[in-house]
Structure 1
Amino acid sequence: MTPAAHALAAIEVLTEIENRRSPAAGALKAWGAAHRFAGSGDRARIASIVYDALRSRASIAWRMGEATPRALVLGALVFVRHADVDALAAAFAASPHAPAPVTEAERAAIAAASLDGAPDHVRGDYPEWLDASLARVFGEARAEEGAALAARAPLDLRVNALKGDRDKALEALAHLKAEPTPLSPFGVRIPLTDDGRGPPVQAEPAHLKGLVEVQDEGSQIAALLCAAAPGEQVIDLCAGAGGKTLALAAGMRNRGQLYAHDSDIRRLAPLHDRATRAGVKNLQIRSPRGAADVMEDLEARADLVLVDAPCTGAGTWRRNPDAKWRMRPSALDVRISEQDAALDDGARLVKPGGRLVYVTCSLLAEENEDRIAAFLGRRPEFAAVPAAEAAVAAGLPDLARFALPSGGSILLSPRRSGTDGFFIAVLRRT
């Protein structure tokens, strides 16, 4: 397929997303199934254009004067990828499988394009209804924070300390130009190609043998701030596919006992093979069994309980840009209820003197500081551990610079820390 054909396909996918309110991943999969002549490289390039258009949808629409799929694709090619409009016009004209020719109106919009006078939610590429929430956290910097969330995310890996160290991983991945991440001592970053794609690292021997796992540096930091230690009793209560579970296991050095649970058995399924590949030997996976309380025997026994709570995912918009446009206020209300329930469920498992770590991949105070304040109000036997103290306990004192003004929690974001957005609060049962 030619680059012009990739652009046409991206317009078709965005049209499907708009007409059917389909998630981007589903629309791309459906397009690929209906166009089997497109190879894996073609599908990856089409997906990259689609995601670039979705990341910057509001600012592209402002400059183009419309938010049609065609306008979004043209804007992504010109404003995000810095393509020359004359070259685009020539490419479209030269191929029978291409978008319609670039119009004079489109040329004029591109030539006059500016974000001068655009409101914060346009400059920051986030839904207007979230402006007040983001202003509450970031104030006058909310547009800049939003713009950072609209950039492409890096490809980060976590080195599995059960299988080797970072130097070993860097050597194994030297052909991919791997470099250390700046914050996590176990992080490795792989450069992306010009069109935002990363290499197939999951096919690399280092991954197949369990030396590295794909995990954003912010997620690594969240697991490190738990400070899981050898010999402890540790519970990952909302484990999902187990990315943080495996990070906790590495910190425990296979000593002590690690339990992983999730309310959805389907999310836990990949963890079985992942743990085997990583060499984890101290893990019990507690799958849900109907109405049975599969964690009852662990009440007040855990040194550490990690509550990686269900959330809106507002901190991961770089990777899931369509999620921000599909998000609705009612979804936030549902998540808040689930977060309160998860905190209460985790609290009963913490022994006196133990730690409860609350993590979200959200930047919204409604899901973060507000949930901790509400929890401490109804559970006075818990107290917040100062962020600086938690950072020192994790052996990463420099992370204290990401503490929120209250000093009781840490907030990471693409603009603040170069990572996905994460909120981390460490609580101790007195």
Structure 2
Amino acid sequence: MAAVQWDPFEAIERDVRAMVADPRWADVPAPTQTQAMTARLLRTPDGGCWLFGAHARWHRHDPGDGLWHLAAPPAAPRARAAARAAQPAPPVPEHLLPSAAGLAFERGSTQAFVGPDVPRDMTGRIRALLDVACAAREEELPFATGPLRELFHPDVTAPVAAMWGTIMWCAYAPAFDGNEVLLSMFGEFLSRPLPGDDWVRWLPPMPLSALTALYTERLARGAGAAVRAAGHVAGTARVLLADPRFAPRAAALLAMVEPLLARPWLDHPAQDAESARQAWLSRCPPRLQGALVAEFSPGEHFRHTLYDLVEALSFSCAHGADPRAVAASLLAADVQAVAPDVAPLLHGWLDPESRRAYHAALTDPAHPLRGCWPRDGEPPAPLRPPDRASAAALLGAGYATGLAWCRLTETAPPPRGFPTSSATVTCLINERDDPAPSVPATSAEWIRHS
């Protein structure tokens, strides 16, 4: 029997989690916490120093610039096993010290909704809530303002829009199978086709302000209308908790909205969507703050999605590739194809190694990293995920990264997806979970065509 190779990264992560979970950790002075974390740093043969700290993620101290950067750790077993205790060790900044709340955050799944569809019991529960929303007589007056307004027919009521907005805001990466029942049940209400093609609906991200705008519009009509809208948001989020692709944001949204159901007056001082948004964000507990990074800092959100993309590419190390370099190359491929003018705006958000790989892939057509780029709409053979779950995770992380850099640079996302994500779809076309004939078809056939 082959010996099991010891993994220093796994060992340190377990150790840090156990240490921080101790209730006494919160009372330990910052200098003592820093000392404890310094003793748990790893150094890899390339000279980089690694810290498992804030956000329950790894950070790399680059020997070149002397700074700490959010960075996914090495994926190859041999590279991980080569890490040793860092002696001497660079100083650990206080803002990177781990906290019990930060380490308690469950990130959920990066999978897109292509290949593994939303489970039928969930779509059934959403369908039941939608029927209630359509039948709510007190809500018959249509809503008139906010980002959701332009998506729906004029006679669509606030509860229906609240449900759609909740689903889209909670989705990690809103790329959906073109036959997804969760979307098709809303077909009769939407005023225009969803962006995408016959295979995938590439939907734009939904800002929290879309939901708070709906809430404040209802609030202007009376406290009862606003509470009912909040109730539809909360009811939808409770259903979404069962799917790990929705769960982190659904939990955060519930924490922000449920207090309104018990104390309807909480947000009465809010006069507009932004003031309501700030009130909602203030109610999110520290253990769920990780779900709100995009609301506080688009740049940090981009860094975290790129970290997800690197992790989703971990299978590529079996072919001798560095997942961080591959992720930087795929980022370059998408930026080059969609908005080359914004490419320099991302440099400052990348760690030095990723920045060098990103720049090389962008500027040198002969660079080996260009071999990671899709050709004729297909990923190169070494970047074809080994199984369905890996392909769905790569698709979701890739699309989330694309949406994140578009948000950061104020670029409109492409309606037919990013080149690298679209190429990943070809790995899932024959793996889709299309609805069985017993599932009712959409009442709006246009939802399948754009």
Q: TM-score surpassing 0.5?
A: no
TM-score using structure 1 length? 0.27
Which has the larger strand fraction? Answer: 1
Structure number with higher relative contact order (C-alpha < 8 Å, ≥ 6 residues apart): 2
Which has the larger helix fraction? Answer: 2
